[in-house]
Amino acid sequence: MHGSPPEFPALTEISRKYNETEMKSLIRNGVGRMPGFSTLSAEATVAIARYLLTGKDDKIAPENAGPSTLELKYTMDGYNRFLDPEGYPAVEPPWGTLNAIDLNSGKIAWQIPLGEHPELTAKGIRNTGSWNYGGPIVTAGGMIFIGATNYDKKFRAFDKATGKLLWDTTLPAAGNATPMTYQIDGRQFIVIAAGGVKRGGESGGKYVAFALPVNK
C-alpha cells in the first residue's frame, strides 16, 4: 500500500480522504488512470474498501468475489518500469536518444543521447539521456528543435545533418510537447508548451516562444 510515488500514490492514509461509500464507488467506477472493476461483486467491493480504509481483512469465498481476471476481456497491472535501487533505469545509458534515420537506406544516420539528470550532471555524470515525452520539429533551414527531456527542462536546437548541438536554453518546466513554428511580419518563431514532467516531478503551465535569427 506504499505505492510508487509520484506515479502511483500511497494508499496508507487514504481513509483521511475517502469514506467507505466513496471508496466503493472508486473501486467500481475507476478514477484517473485506474480502471474501474465493475465485475467485482458487492461483497468483494466492500471487503476491498474496508481493507484499504481500516486494514480489516473480511474473508470472502472466491466464488462470491465475482468473475476472475481470466474471464475479463481486458486487464492490466499499470505502467511498470525496470529501475535500479536509486530509481534510475536498470539498463546501461543512454536512457533516451534523438535519432536521425536516412529514409532512402532505412539506416540510422546519427544517434545522440538526449536529456540529462541534473543531480548526476552535478557529479560529472553526463550524456545519460533521460525519458522523453514530446517530438521534434525541423525547420526549412535544417535545424531540429526539441524539448521532451523530463528532468533537465532543456529546449535544444540541433543540426539536422550532423546532430551537433547548436543551442539550448532552460524552460520554466519540462517541455513535454512537440514545438510548433509560425511567422509574423517575415520573422520566424518557435513556441513550445512548458507543462512539466508527465511521470512525476515539477509541473508548469507556460508557453515559451523564441525568435529565430534573421539572415542578412
Residue spans per domain, the chain: 14-71, 97-211
Q: Which of 216, 198, 78 is nearest to 134 (CA)?
A: 198
CATH number listed for the domain at residues 97-211: 2.40.128.630
Alpha-carbon distance 168 to 173, whole Å? Answer: 14
Alpha helices, DSSP H, located in the chain: 20-29, 42-54, 118-121
Cell of 49: 474498501
Pick the CATH number of 14-71 from 1.20.120.530, 3.40.50.2000, 3.30.1330.10, 1.10.760.10: 1.10.760.10
Using alpha carbons, list the distances in angstroms from residue 168 to 66, 115, 144, 149.
Answer: 55, 11, 11, 12
86 Cβ contact partners less than 8 Å away, ≥ 6 residues apart? none
Report the amino acid identity of residue 104. N
Alpha-carbon distance 132 to 117, whole Å? Answer: 12
Alpha-carbon distance 151 to 203, whole Å? Answer: 11
Q: What is the mean pLDDT of each run of 10 residues along the chain (216 residues)?
A: 79 90 92 84 88 83 61 66 90 96 95 95 95 94 94 96 96 94 95 81 87 81
Which helix (H) or strand (E) segment is 145 a member of? strand 143-146
Per-residue pLDDT, 144 = 97
Per-residue pLDDT, 92 = 94
Please answer whether residues 82 and 88 qualify as being in contact, where contact means their C-beta atoms are separated by less than 8 angstroms: no
Please answer whether residues 49 and 25 qualify as being in contact, where contact means their C-beta atoms are separated by less than 8 angstroms: no
Per-residue pLDDT, 209 = 97
Per-residue pLDDT, 68 = 55
SS3 (DSSP) at 16? helix
